[in-house]
Chain A
Amino acid sequence: MTNLERTPKIRIQDLTKVFYKKQDSMTALDNISIDIADGEFVCIVGPSGCGKTTLLRILAGLENQSAGTFSIAKSSEERPLQSMVFQERGILPWLTVEENVAFGLNMRHLPASIVKERTHYFLNKVGLSKFARMYPKELSGGMKQRVSIARAFANDPEILLMDEPFGALDEQNKYILQEELLSIWSETKKTVLFITHSIDEALFLSDRILLMSSQPGKILKEIKMDLPHPRKVIDIRSNPSMAEKFLDIWSHLQEEVQESRK
């Protein structure tokens, strides 16, 4: 039993991605190896262009790695391996809120009763039941990302991949959505790999933070976060040890950014 528990949910081994363009190649990911435990919330933080999105896209099946392997442990036959929460614009404008949340379930052609039940459950969770029949054009940016999150959770995948989902939101909305995400997450106990360039966001959300360097993209450092859940933005802000962690991450990333500017 203990052995089984130790098996990581996501195992990434020596993953390398090279972009090749007319005799000029760029190493976006250089021998990345990460193990992520079941139910863990991991943030990857790095400057833009460090290859973190490429890593996520490979895990999401949207791009192929140049070398290396990764595996996602399956717990049930019916579950899809992964679902992604995209950056803004990730919801389909020609589908209603409800249809967007049901998208993954409908693509798997699940029975209508199950689709309806799960869709409504997660619409309710993100507080959008009233907006079920509206089109995305009538929603604010924060509401659109709620739809995107509900769609991913409703699909009930083995793991969730999130590509800077709150990057385009204003600060107040960002805090609210971060808290909501944590509350849904702690209920479903999904394994999450979350990408962000915001140190604050990573500190607030994650169990573990991976710092990434750019060109070639490598994991620089790992930081364990031992704060208990449920978390509130206020707790993080008022916790003095967080300031230290922030500065630690910042000094690492700052070097990185300076380095890449040379």
Chain B
Amino acid sequence: MKEVINPVVTEEREWRKQQRKGRMKAALTISSPLMLLVLWEFLSQSGLIDSRFFPPPTQIVSTFTSLLTSGELFSHMGISLFRILAGFLLGVIPGIIIGLCMGLYAPIRHFVSPLIMALMPIPTLALLPLILIVFGIGETSKIVTIAGSVFFPVVINTVAGVITIDSIYIDVAKNYGASQKDFFLKIALPGALPVMLEGIQMGQAIALLTIVAAEMMGAQSGIGYLIWTSYSAFLLKEMFVGLILISFFGYLFSLLIRALQRKLLPWR
């Protein structure tokens, strides 16, 4: 007797298998950080690793809540976020404007790009002493440091975004008689936006790296300051709280920029 096979049932079984696989992958993604934490807790509690250097995660969490309730953490977070945001904007906005000008006008590009190429490899942090001399030890110097390191990936990606716009779109604009202003708004800006946003995503990551180092070197507040002073005073639980905050903000910011990309690029 030949077995009667129902094709829909076969495919349904296949579909369920795919669904199970999907859930499995999601579970795997969550499990690795959890396993690390559990392992850390166990090693630290059992004394296999030195709990003075690696305090167990549960203790870090309780330190976190006590720092949170005392309000100390909020003031550090607030000031760091302010510096990141201000420095980020101060780097991104000129980066976009200069990048678009360079991308659209070849003479400007050829004139400005050697300066950018020469300045880009110098880490902004290496310039921190100079920045402190020029802008003093106040907020401005930290904001300028962040702006300086955010600026380069944004400007370079914006230029790349404009000059890699497919030439056929430029022909279309020309053939349909687009004015300078229309060309800028309807072709150059939307055409460059995807690569530009990649640059902003990169800038965001660099802003976080820079803020911590800048606050370690010349600040009396902020997450970087918290990490550095806690370390100096051997308060390692507090130091870990700072490190985890940085990791959390990094994740949060990249989620925000991904959301921005989806919002701005519905056509991708």
Which of A's residues lie within 8 Å of B, judged by CB? 60-62, 80, 82-84, 86-87, 89-95, 103-104, 106-108, 135-137, 151, 155
Contact = CB atoms under 8 A, between A and B. Distances in A.
Interface residues of B, number: 22
Contacts of B186: 92, 95, 103, 107
B169 A61 contact: no
Given A135-B266, A137-B267, A137-B268, A92 B178 contact: no
21 contacts: A60-B171, A60-B175, A61-B175, A62-B174, A62-B175, A83-B176, A84-B171, A84-B175, A86-B168, A86-B172, A91-B172, A94-B190, A94-B191, A94-B193, A95-B186, A103-B186, A104-B177, A106-B182, A107-B173, A107-B179, A108-B177
A106 B185 CA distance: 12
Contacts of A136: 267
Given A107-B177, A107-B179, A107-B182, A93 B172 contact: no
Contact of B171 (A62, A94, A104): A62
B174 A93 contact: no
Contacts of A83: 175-176
A91 B267 CA distance: 12
Contacts of A84: 171-172, 175
A47 to B, nearest CB: 22
A151 B177 CA distance: 13
Nearest to B169: A92
Given A94-B267, A135-B266, A103 B176 contact: yes
Interface string B176-216: 11110010001100110100000000000000000000000
A89 B168 contact: yes
A21 to B, nearest CB: 18
Contacts of B173: 107
A163 to B, nearest CB: 10
